[in-house]
Amino acid sequence: MEPDRKTLIADAAIALLGSVGARGLTHRAVDAEAGLPAGSTSFYCRSRLDLLRLALRRHAALDLADLQADGARLAQPAWSRADLLALVAHRVREWLAPAQRARLVARFELFLMASREPELAGIVRELRAQFLLATQAALTRAGVSQPEVRARLLAQFVDGHLLEAVGADGVQPLDAAQLKLLERLLAD
C-alpha cells in the first residue's frame, strides 16, 4: 500500500532534517524531496511548526515500530537478559546502518529544536513516555528488576551511544565492553 501524503511529507521532512538540517527544512524543499506538486506540504502543514510536529510524531512512530518488530522476533513469552541484550545490540546496529543515517541525525535535530520550542518539547516528553513504557515492558519480560528506573538508564545509554556514533560519522555497534556494562546495568 502506498503511503498517504502526510506520511510522504513527514518522511521527506525527516530525510531533509537528516541531510541538510533544520535550515534546509522548508515547505518547498519538502515538496521537492517527496516528489509532490508545489504547495502540497503547505496544504497539510500550514506552518513550520505543523511540519515539525508531523515529522516528530512520524519519527517516533518509526522508532516504536522498530521496537515492536524487535519484540516480535522473540516468540517466547519471557526473555532472558541475554535475549534482551541481543535485541538492544541489534537495534543499535540497525539504527546506525548507513541507510538509517539521515533518520538518526534527524532524531537529534528534532530533539535540539524541541529544546527551543515548548510545544515540540511537550511532544517529545509525551513520545518519550511511550518509548519508556515499551522499554519497561521489554525489561519486565526479561525479568529485570526495577524496570521503571532501568528503562530510563537503558534509553540514556542507547541515546548517548547513538549521539556519539553520529558525531563519529560511522557505524559503531556496541562493543564487548559496552555490552558488559549493559549486562551489569540490568543485573539484580
- The CATH architecture to which 5-186 belongs is Orthogonal Bundle (1.10)
Return the residue matching grid coordinates 535485541. 87
Distance between CA 69 and CA 180 in Å, rounded? Answer: 24
Q: What is the pLDDT of residue 169?
A: 65
| N-to-C CA span, the chain | 45
Q: Which amino acid is at 133?
A: L
Measuring CA to CA, which residue among 112, 116, 155 is closest to residue 132? 155
Which pLDDT score is estimated for 155? 95
| pLDDT on residue 148 | 95
**Cell numbers 525527516 label which residue?**
14
Distance of CA 76 to the CA centre of its chain: 25
Q: What is the pLDDT along the chain (188 residues), one digit of tens a residue?
A: 567 999 999 999 999 999 999 999 999 999 999 999 999 999 999 999 999 999 999 999 999 999 888 888 776 777 889 999 999 999 999 999 999 999 999 999 999 999 999 999 999 999 999 999 999 999 998 999 999 999 999 999 999 999 998 887 666 889 999 999 999 988 87
Q: Which amino acid is at 152?
A: R
pTM: 0.91
Distance CA 19, CA 14 (A): 9
pLDDT at residue 72, as a whole number: 83
CA–CA dist 59, 47 (Å, integer): 19
pLDDT of residue 1: 56
Residue in 129, 125, 17, 11 with CA at minimum distance from that of residue 59: 11
